[in-house]
Amino acid sequence: MKLIILDRDGVINHDSDAFIKSPAEWVPIKGSLEAIARLNQAGYRVVVATNQSGIARGLFDMQTLMAIHQKMHEAAQLVGAEIDAIFFCPHAADDNCDCRKPKAGMFHDIGKRFDVSLRGGVATVGDSLRDLQAGFVAGCAPYLVLTGKGEKTREKGGLPPGTLIYPNLAAVVDFLLKKPMELAV
Ligand SMILES: O=P(O)(O)OC[C@@H](O)[C@H]1O[C@@H](OP(=O)(O)O)[C@@H](O)[C@@H](O)[C@@H]1O
Ligand SMILES: [Mg+2]
Ligand SMILES: [Zn+2]
């Protein structure tokens, strides 16, 4: 089975320094949902691994997070895309949980749930260093996109070895499905 693990904010939808606190604030990045549909058609299971410390911060509750994800699923369906599962960490950094990226807990759980060894070339796509670090530790091939916080992440450096950089999720999918696309260097 082909599997890919995507960060949510800044990869699928626009991010905000004020967090994505409601369905109304969830706006897909142009081309991202269509890119997921192309992955589905190529036989990929698409799974999201997202930090949602806004829950621990009291910025929004679980019901609101579920409503945001319902909107994401519906928007995906409109373009023939399907997100197979959404794993999220609702904790704050000082909760010292095992699931908050850059820890790899969500990635290990995804590997178990889908019975896939992540070390077999499973790609993970993120806009923050912690996304890439979590995936890399779990054995994934890291891809940085320059949407969301990606430009800042590139400037800061320290990316896991072998990280490939692309302008956005659609360009990563072009590469994965072997349509020529220039690397964003
Ligand atoms: O990119 P993913 O993992 O899908 O979600 C990130 C969000 O949960 C929020 O994560 C926060 O980081 P802190 O949780 O405050 O460190 C900030 O970066 C917010 O701007 C951002 O919206
Ligand atoms: Mg992000
Ligand atoms: Zn957690």
The predicted model scores a pTM of: 0.96
Q: What is the mean pLDDT of residues 53-64?
A: 98
CB of 20 closer than 6 A to ligand 1?
Answer: yes
Tell me what the mean pLDDT of segment 24-36 comes to: 98
CA distances (Å), origin 25, targets 15, 22, 48, 104, 180: 9, 5, 18, 27, 33
Q: What pLDDT score was predicted for residue 182?
A: 59
User: Which residue's CA is the nearest one to ligand 1's atom 13?
Assistant: 53
Question: 5 in helix, strand or coil?
Answer: strand
Tell me whether residue 62 is exposed, middle or buried, using C-beta atoms within 10 angstroms of its C-beta: 0 to 12, 13 to 18, 19 or more. Answer: exposed
Does residue 184 carry a pLDDT above 80? no
Residue among 32, 51, 100 to mutate when testing ligand 1 (max atoms within 8 A of CB): 51
80 vs 15: CA distance, rounded Å: 23
Res 180: pLDDT: 53
Q: Is the CB of 22 under 6 A from ligand 1?
A: no
pLDDT band per the 50, 70, 90 thresholds, residue 178: confident
* pLDDT value at residue 1: 86
ipTM of the complex: 0.97
For residue 19 and ligand 1, the question of a CB distance below 6 A is answered with yes
Average pLDDT estimate for 36-52: 98
Question: What pLDDT digit, counting tens, does each position of 104-160 carry?
Answer: 999 999 999 999 999 978 999 999 999 999 999 999 999 999 999 999 999 999 999
In whole angstroms, give the CA distance from residue 169 to residue 56.
28
Distances in whole angstroms, Cα of residue 171 to Cα of each of 112, 126, 184 = 28, 13, 9
Percent of the chain topping pLDDT 70:
96
